[in-house]
Structure 1
Amino acid sequence: MPATSHKIRTKGSETLTEALQALKTNSTLATLDLAYNSIGDNGAQALGEALKTNSTLVILSLDYNSIGGNGAQALGEALKTNSTLATLNLGGNLIRANGAQALGDALKTNSVLATLNLTYNSIGYNGAQALGEALKTNSTLTTLNLQRNLIGDHGAQALGEALKTNSVLATLSLNYNSIGDNGAQALGEALKINSTLTTLNLQRNLIGDHGAQALGEALKTNSVLATLNLTQNWIGDHGAQALGKALKTNSALTTLDLQHNRFQYKGFLALSESFTTNSTLSILNLEHNLKGGVVVKALTEALKSKSTLTTLNLQNCLVSHNDVQALVEVIKITSTLTSLELQRNAIGENGIQALAKALKTNMTLTALNLAVNSIGDKGARALAKAFKNNPILTTLDFLHKAIGSNGSHVLDKAFKINSTLTTVNLAINSIGYKGAQALAEALKINSTLATLDLQNNSIGHKGAQALAKAIKTNSTLTTLDLWGNSIGVNGAQELSEALKTNLGLITLYLQNNSIGSNGAQALSQALKTNSALTTLDLWGNSIGDSGAQALSNALETNSTLTTLYLQRNSIGDRGAQALAQALKTNSTLTTLNVWDNTIGDNGAQALAEALQINLALAILNLAGNIIGDNGARALCEALKLNSTLVILELQNNLIGDNEAQALQQVSQATRCLRPDPLEATINKPVSFDRVPHLDKCLEAGARWLEEVYQI
């Protein structure tokens, strides 16, 4: 009999029982997905017992389940005897060092597990050391993901020692782990000896020149590593020079990611020089490192003799129209380059015209990003001519003042003829309603475009009307972004009529369009019959309670919408109560965002009542409302019964300390810790992941915690 898979989600108290029953009775069950079910240690222990006798399961996903050290220990005991499980996903739990140690012990004897994902588990360097010891003898694990675990230099050193003798591990992910030069040096020493590791991810650590130099020395002799990610570290010119020297002789590395480091001219020139002899590198990311001029010319000269590069990222590198002239020579002769990222440069019309000429004959480039480059009408005209006959290009990005309305008129003619483009980004280009009308005419004929981004283009209701007419007959467009276009009530009504018959559009963004309650009511009528749309964004449209009530009526019958954004819409308790009523019967909506409205205790209590019944909602954002203790208390009680909600945001409400503590306790008992957890969002101004430039502070703090508390 063929193998089967089983995904169990949103089943409340039946979840674990169903899973255990399947493990005992289903003789073909190979995949079991229990992610986001809050099974906790008790559930993990029960599964561990079942795994001791099960002989069919190959993949088990337990991500985000509030599993701690005890649960991990139970699973570890099962792995000692289980003979079939090849993949175990435990990301986003809290197994800590003792849980990692238990799994490490199991790996010493287990002979089948090939993939282990322990992302976000706070295992610290003690946990990494335990896993390192296991890797010295384990002969089956090929993929290990330890992202975001605070392992630090000590943890990296332990893993480095393991890699010296391990002969099977192929992929190791250590991003976001506060690894500095000492850790990188240890890994570099291991790479000199190791003969199996093909992918090493060290993104967002604290590696500087010394660490990069150590890795460079390793690359001179290593003959297996194919992918090295050093994004967002602290590598300067000396580190880049060391890597460049290594690339001259290295014959294995195919992907090198160095975006957002600190090297400039000398480092870049060293890297460029290496391409004249390197014959394997195919993907190079140098975003936010270069300074234009001579360094770009040096790169292009080197690339003329290089025939393997497929992806080149020069975003935000001060590339000028003169530099593009040099790049054009590469594009004309390349037989491998498929993706070119040139956004946020200073290419201008002259540079674009030169690029367009090259595109007429280039037969390899499929993705071109020219966002934030002031292409102008002449540049748009030149590109349009190139696109008409180009049979390869599929993705085109003109974000932010790249073209104007005249440019969009020219492009629409090309879109009518072009049969390969699937994604076009024209956001923030002031194309106006005439530009939208021209594009709409193209959409009536075009049969390939799937994603069209027109946000902030002042198209107004006339532009929306034209696009709506096109959507009635177009069957390929799946995503339309009209954010910030002042389409108003009339525009919303026109789009609503189109949605009643359109069967292709899946995602519609209408943020900040002044559609009001009447516009929301029109869209709600479409939602009652539309069977394709899964995401609707109405952020900042002043739909009020009446608009929310209309949408709620639609949700009672709609069976496809999964995501609804209603932020900043002046929705109060009545609107929240209507939404709550819909949630009692709706079985598809998984995300509801009503941030920054005026929902108080009555609305929160109604939503809490719905959460006790609803079996689908996973994310609820109530931040920035006026919910007090009574509403918080009701939500707290609802969380005790609800088994599906993963994220509840309540920051910037009026909740007192006692109720906030009660909510935190419930979240810790019933929910897993996530990057944006309930306990991190109560009455706080922002969530950590949304604070700009905070990463370095968090990384430094993580290192301090490692040293002081030995975690």
Structure 2
Amino acid sequence: MKTIHITLTQDHIKLLSLRPRRSSCLQKLTYEVKAQWIGVIELQGLVNSLKTGAPLTILNLRDGSIKDEGALALSEVLKVNTSLTTLDLGYNSVGDVGAQALSEALKANATLATLDLWDNSIEKEGALALSEALKVNTSLATLNLGYNSIGDEGALALSEALKANATLTTLDLWDNSIEKEGAQALSETLEVNATLTTLTLGNNRIRKEGALALSEALKEEALALSEALKVNTSLTTLDLSNNRIQKEGAQALSEALKANATLTTLILCHNSIEKEEALALSEALKVNTSLTTLDLNESSIGKEGAQALSEALKANATLTTLNLCHSSIEKEEALALSEALKVNTTLTTLDLWYNSIGDEGALALAKALKINTSLTTLELGNNRIQKEGALVLSEALKVNTSLTTLNLRSNSIGDEGALALSEALKANATLTDLTLGGNSIGKEGALALSEALKVNTSLTTLALWYNSIGDEGAQALSEALKVNTSLTTLSLSNNRIQKEGAQALSEALKVNTSLTTLALWYNLIGEADLAISEALKENAIFTQ
């Protein structure tokens, strides 16, 4: 199956009326129209084309001025159109009137699979209408109602619809003023619905009572909770970010995880998770066999919570991603997590961005990396790591054979740290993505990295933004680019590069055969951009 994806400006919308001649290789023609370019007349022309059977499958009218009148016109099209599968009307203020019109269309339409109504001023009346449509619609799989105001009444109506609907797999209700009653209604729905796999309820007002109700849908029995999610066998993703679920809610979810066997992703970021909640979640992880992603971003788990999670990781055999960024992790917590990494064989991503592990925490993690063979992504940005931390991580990279992504942005490793990492890159054969932006790296560090790039054959992305490599650093990297055949992305934005450095890079681009992206924002290259433009004419693969 081949698809041609065409983006049309308003001047070319008339092309929708053209009938492409059939060929053996052209089986589907997809158009995408940018809403901000469309006026009332152009929208009407588009509608008329769709009524006559233009082979449209994806229609993107996001961020425009469609409003309720436009939604009414599009609704009439959806009643007869048989090719459209995706309609994006995000940021269009269709309101309840527009939602009601689209709902009537959904009752008749049998092909639309994705409908995006993000930020459209839809309230309970619109949600009620959409709910009635979902009771009879047999094609819609994804409905995005994020950032509207459907409230508890809207959530209640959608809950009733989901008891009958057998096709919807993804429902996004982010930031909809849903409180505990709405959460309880959705929880009851999860008892009987067998198709929904992703439910997003982030940034609502569910709090602990709503979390307790949702927990009922995730477990067989715990405390005074009902049996709701004990029978649900379809939900795989639950997003409860920024909902103030508090201690009791988190503990209830933890009990649920002990019994649930289908949930793979649980997002609890921005929920003030502290040590007691972390302890409860840790106990659940010791026995849970389905969860692969746990997001605790912006928590305050403390030393005891980190130690508990570490103990859980020693026993858990399914979790692959753990997000603890911005969670007050310091050296003691990093030490505990490091001990877990020495024996854990499933975790592939550990996000510790914006903590304070320092050089001692980096040392502990480095020791773990010398033993661990499963971790592929380690995020250590903004962690007060200096040259000593970079030195020990570099030693680990010389022997580690699994890590592919290392992010050290916004630390202070300096030239000495860059030199150490450069030596590691000469030996390492697995790292593909290295981010060193904002690390006080000057020309000496750039020179060292350049020498590494001449022999390294695995690194594809190197981010050096917001350093001070200057023209000499840029010239050194240019020499490396002439022989390197693996690097595809190089970010040198905000590095005090001037004309000489840019000209050197342009010469490298004439012969380099792998680089597709070069970022030079916020430098002082002046007229040297013309030299780069000329070089790009000779480079057949460059994209940016």
Q: Name 1:334's counterpart in structure 2.
A: 193
Structure 1: distance between partners of 2:361 and 2:266: 26
Amino acid at match of 2:532: L
Counterpart residue number, 1:202: 60
- Conserved 8 A contact 1:178-1:205: no
How many residue pairs get aligned? The number is: 532
Distance 1:181 1:332 in 2: 45
Deviations 1:51-89 (A, max 9, x none): xxxxxxxxxxxxxxxxxxxxxxxxxxxxxxxxxxx7xxx
Kindly tell me: are residues 294 and 374 of structure 1, through their superposed partners in 2, closer, same or farther at Cα, counting changes over 3 Å? same
* Aligned residue among 511, 518, 521 for 1:641: 511
Q: Name the SS of the counterpart of 2:342 in structure 1.
A: helix
Alignment partner, residue 345 of structure 1? 204
Change (3 A) 1:213 1:136: farther
Aligned: 1:246 with 2:105: yes
Contact 1:187–1:215 (CA<8 Å) still a contact in 2? no
Instruction: Answer whether contact 1:320 1:345 (CA < 8 A) is retained.
Output: yes
Mapped contact 1:428–1:456 kept (Cα < 8 A):
yes
Q: Does 1:663 align with 2:539?
A: no
Unaligned runs of 5+ in 2: 220-229
The equivalent residue for 1:437 is 307
1:231 partnered with 2:90: yes
Structure 1 range deviating more: 464-473 or 219-228: 219-228
Tell me by how many angstroms 1:496 deviates.
0.8
Give, in whole Å, the separation in 2 of the partners of 1:386 and 1:281: 29
Deviation at 1:602, TM superposition (A): 1.5
RMSD: 2.5
2:266 alignment counterpart? 396
Whole-angstrom CA distance in 2 between matches of 1:556 and 1:174: 47
1:506 alignment partner in structure 2: 376
Alignment of 1:183-582 (within 5 A): 183-194=42-53, 199-204=57-62, 206=64, 207-223=66-82, 225-360=84-219, 361=230, 362-582=232-452
Q: Distance in 2 between matches of 1:449 and 1:276?
A: 36
- Counterpart of 1:242 in structure 2: which amino acid? A
Counterpart-to-counterpart distance in 2, 1:410 and 1:598: 46
Counterpart position of 2:27: 142
In 1, Cα distance between equivalents of 2:152 and 2:284:
32
1:575 counterpart letter in structure 2: G
Aligned partner of 1:148 in structure 2 is none
1:287, 1:316 within 8 Å by CA — same for their partners in 2? yes
2:473 matched to 1:603?
yes
Higher mean displacement: 410-419 or 526-535:
526-535
Once structures 1 and 2 are overlaid, which stretch shifts more, 469-478 or 645-654? 645-654
C-alpha displacement of 1:593 = 0.8
**Higher RCO, 1 vs 2 (CA within 8 Å, ≥6 residues apart):** 1
- The separation in 1 between residues aligned to 2:38 and 2:218, in whole angstroms, is 43
C-alpha contact (below 8 Å) 1:449/1:477 kept by paired residues: yes
Moved over 6 A (4+): 125-128
Distance in structure 1 (CA, Å) of the matches to 2:195 and 2:240: 20
TM-score, normalization: structure 1? 0.70
SS in 2 for 1:466: helix
Contact 1:184/1:212 (8 A) holds in 2: no
Distance 1:653 1:458 in 2: 35
8 Å contact kept, 1:373–1:402: no
Q: C-alpha deviations, 1:137-178, integer Å up to 9, x for none? A: 557523334xxxxxxxxxxxxxxxxxxxxxxxxxx4445773
Q: Secondary structure at the match of 1:302?
A: helix
Q: Is 1:651 matched up with 2:521?
A: yes
Deviation at 1:307, TM superposition (A): 3.7
- C-alpha distance in structure 1 between counterparts of 2:167 and 2:47, whole Å: 26
Distance 1:180 1:420 in 2: 49
Separation (CA, whole Å) in 2 of partners of 1:118 and 1:554: 45
Deviations 1:577-617 (A, max 9, x none): 00011111111111111111121222111111111111111
* Cα distance in structure 2, aligned partners of 1:547 and 1:277: 62
Q: CA deviation at 1:124?
A: 5.1
* CA contact 1:272–1:298 (8 Å) conserved in 2: yes
Q: 1:251–1:118: structure 2 CA closer, same or farther, 3 Å change rule?
A: closer
Match of 1:319, SS state, is: coil
Q: Distance in 2 between matches of 1:385 and 1:630?
A: 63
Q: Is the 8 A contact 2:397 2:424 kept in 1?
A: yes
Would the alpha carbon gap of residues 394 and 516 (structure 1) be closer, same or farther in structure 2, given more than 3 Å must change?
Answer: same
Write the distance in 1 (CA, Å) between the matches of 2:243 and 2:179. 10
Secondary structure, counterpart of 1:589 in structure 2: coil
Q: Structure 1, residues 347-389: CA drift from partner, whole Å, max 9, x if none?
A: 1011101111122212221110111111111111101111101
2:21, 2:101 → 1: CA distance?
29
- AA paired with 1:549? L
Partner of 1:157: none
Distance in 1 separating the partners of 2:541 and 2:99: 40
User: For residue 416 of structure 2, what is the amino acid of its counterpart?
Assistant: S
Post-superposition offset of 1:262: 3.8
User: In the alignment, residue 204 of structure 1 is paired with which amino acid?
Assistant: R
**SS across alignment from 1:620:** strand
User: Cα–Cα, structure 1 residues 272 and 531, in superposed 2: closer, same or farther, change >3 Å?
Assistant: same
What are the ranges of 5 or more consecutive residues in structure 1 without an aligned counterpart? 1-85, 87-113, 146-171, 678-711
**Structure 1 254/133 Cα, relative in aligned 2: closer, same or farther at 3 Å?**
closer
Q: Given residue 292 of structure 1, which amino acid in structure 2 is its aligned partner? A: G
Query: How does the TM-score come out when normalised to structure 2?
Result: 0.91
How far is 1:642 from its partner?
A: 1.8
Q: Structure 1 stretch 327-336 or stretch 315-324: which is displaced more?
A: 327-336
CA distance 1:673–1:309, change in 2 (3 Å) = same
Instruction: Tell me the residue number matched to 1:55.
Output: none
**1:576-595 alignment runs, 5 A limit:** 576-595=446-465
Kept in 2: contact 1:268–1:290 (CA 8 A): no
Give the Å deviation of 1:191: 4.1
Query: Aligned to 1:336, what secondary structure does the other structure show?
Result: coil
Deviations 1:639-669 (A, max 9, x none): 22223222222222233x2223333443455
Q: Give the direction of change, closer, same or farther, for the CA distance of 1:257–1:348 in structure 2 (3 Å limit).
A: same
Maintained 8 Å contact 2:266/2:294: yes
Q: Counterpart of 2:353 in structure 1: which amino acid? A: W
Classify the secondary structure of the residue corresponding to 1:564.
strand
For the Cα contact (< 8 Å) 1:180–1:211, is it kept in 2? no
- Given that 2:272 and 2:300 are in contact with CA atoms closer than 8 Å, whether structure 1 keeps it comes out as no
Looking at structure 2, the residues matched to 427 and 461 of structure 1 have their Cα atoms a distance apart, in angstroms, of: 18
CA distance in 1, matches of 2:458, 2:42: 46
Closer, same or farther in 2 for the Cα pair 1:273/1:124, shift >3 Å?
closer
User: Residues 10 and 38 of structure 2 are in contact (CA less than 8 Å); yes or no, is this contact kept in structure 1?
Assistant: no
